[in-house]
Chains A and B, each alone.
Chain A
Amino acid sequence: MTRQFLFSGFGGQGILFAGKFVAYKGLMDGKNVSWLPSYGPEMRGGTASCGVIVGDETVGSPIVSTPDVLVAMNLPSLDKYESTVAPGGIIFVDSTLVSRPVNRTDVTVYAIPATQMASDNGTPTLANMILVGKILKVLNDFEDDSVRAALGKVVSAKRADMLEVNLNAMKLGADY
């Protein structure tokens, strides 16, 4: 099967990083993957998004227009992308920053106060990875080995200490 992810939020929330991790995780699991960022004139505080496709078949179009999984880390992202989610899909929202409930009734919704949890955990920049932890858990995809291998690909070698920190944030999300 092929699964299309759309990660969206403010620039600076680690949207592209989260997407990159999920793509590398797929690669470590032997899947075909693609990762396509929005590359508009975005900057910290602006909007950011990226589409990730993970599947058994070769990836055709890398453009995610009807995501199976939407991650909305702020309200504008939910407003913009809620209607695009495939029926039966899953929406993950950062409920610390998204004040309204999801209106769609044909999707599964997980509301996680990721920003608050990240802040309480002393790692305020890792709300993205808390959400990713939850996603992998929900998708039954949280295996330690490939998670570590994928983290090794996206965490800079100079900051190897961040690997455990990221992993802990993901576990926090998975256990929520």
Chain B
Amino acid sequence: MKGNEAIAEAAIIAGCRHYFGYPITPQTEIAAYMAKRMPKIGGTFLQAESEIAAINMVYGVASTGLRVMTSSSSPGISLKGEGLSYLAGADLPALVVNVQRGGPGLGGIQPSQSDYFQATRSGGHGDFRMIVLAPSSVQEMAELTVKGFELADQYRMTAMILADGTMGQMMEPVALDLDVKPMPEKQWATTGTKMNRPHNIVNSLFLDPAALEQTNFERFERYKFIEENETMYEEYLTDDAEIVIAAFGIAARVSKNAIDEARKQGIKVGMIRPITLWPFPVAPFRKAADKAKAFISVELSMGQMIEDVRLAIDCKAPVTLCNRVGGMIPSPEQVLESIRQTAASLGGAN
């Protein structure tokens, strides 16, 4: 199954019956899959007139408490920025998928990770966060889709799957026996009062600054709790590592090949692979910095996650960047060379 299809099927398994989107390479298979499946299971697939329309349809369905999603690729996600901010302002849960392509602007259609800042810092205006999940296999495309819906509901916010063209287009075996937790009760949802409760109002407009300040404070209390409780990551050979690679998504797959080769050459190198990009898994990096002498951030960007790595380790060790951009992907050889150079600079085995 293709990664894009795995996301679509997992969303259906998670109980999502409403999908709104607009086609863009390299994620169109999600929409195509939904177009085929949704009518058969009583769901809604709608190809909106634009990305902006699609995200506002998501806002509408999210207000009723139902599981809803949209998907796009980089330029399309920028168009959704306003809607993402409104979802945050109204504390609505939704799943948004970004299968990234090269940028900026219309860019290209090949894989990229250069929307890291956009996803982890701000998808739109105002103070807000999204939970950002970074799959590194087709299996994780499916699993994190379910997880994304659950986290979105639990914390009443947007969860974003931040994948890339490779993850979306590649096929791998995938097991779809996914555990889905029951959906929490949503007493805030606009489901009709049936004349026996006060109106529920979904809104992101607060003209009283004191009231608006209070919503921000409350939201950030929630964010703090998420930072403390919801980080996900995978460590690979970090126990004795003198060099630690930070990489997510496709970059982690490439890095793993390079690490295996470097280990054969006697270089003690490992990897921390963040699965949640926000909240960023600070703890394992902090722990690794006690022993590791150098870090390498492998990214398909000009160096975005590297800032979070530096922050996480309080600049206790040098962090270098190993990257390709514009739709190019670092080869295992390039990553290996970067590891070897770093090892040489440490005066270690080489």
- By a beta-carbon cutoff of 8 Å, the part of chain A in contact with chain B is 20, 23, 27, 32-37, 39-41, 59-63, 65
Contact = CB atoms under 8 A, between A and B. Distances in A.
A65 B331 contact: yes
Nearest to B329: A63
Contact of B171 (A20, A40, A60, A65): A20
Interface string B151-170: 00000000000000110011
20 contacts: A27-B173, A33-B173, A34-B170, A35-B170, A35-B172, A36-B171, A39-B26, A39-B165, A39-B169, A41-B109, A60-B253, A60-B254, A61-B254, A61-B332, A62-B170, A62-B172, A63-B254, A63-B331, A65-B331, A65-B333
B256 A39 contact: no
Interface of B: 25-26, 109-110, 165-166, 169-173, 250, 253-254, 256-257, 260, 329, 331-333
B73 to A, nearest CB: 12
Given A36-B171, A41-B109, A62-B250, 19 more contacts: A20-B171, A23-B171, A27-B173, A32-B173, A34-B172, A35-B170, A35-B171, A36-B166, A36-B170, A37-B170, A39-B165, A60-B257, A60-B260, A60-B332, A61-B254, A62-B166, A62-B172, A63-B166, A65-B331
B64 to A, nearest CB: 36
B331 to A, nearest CB: 6
B172 A59 contact: yes
A34 B25 CA distance: 20
A62 B109 contact: no
B55 to A, nearest CB: 25
Contact of B169 (A36, A41, A65): A36
A36 B166 CA distance: 7
Contacts of A63: 166, 254, 329, 331
Nearest to B167: A62
Contacts, number: 52
Given A27-B173, A59-B172, A62-B170, A39 B257 contact: no
B172 to A, nearest CB: 5
Contacts of A41: 109
B256 A61 contact: yes
B254 A39 contact: no
Contacts of B109: 39-41
B257 A61 contact: yes
A63 B329 CA distance: 9
B106 to A, nearest CB: 13
B150 to A, nearest CB: 26
A33 B138 CA distance: 11
Which 8 pairs between the two chains have the least Cβ-Cβ distance? A35-B171, A60-B257, A61-B254, A36-B170, A60-B256, A61-B253, A61-B257, A39-B169
A34 B257 CA distance: 15
Contacts of B333: 65
Contacts of A33: 172-173
A36 B111 CA distance: 12
Nearest to A19: B171
Contacts of B110: 40
Contacts of A61: 250, 253-254, 256-257, 332
Candidate in A34, A40, A63 with the most chain B CB atoms within 10 angstroms:
A63
A27 B174 CA distance: 11
A40 B109 CA distance: 7
A27 B171 CA distance: 11
Nearest to B173: A27
A153 to B, nearest CB: 11
Contacts of B171: 20, 23, 34-36
B337 to A, nearest CB: 14
Contacts of B250: 61-62
A104 B106 CA distance: 40
Contacts of B253: 59-62
A115 to B, nearest CB: 26
Nearest to B333: A65
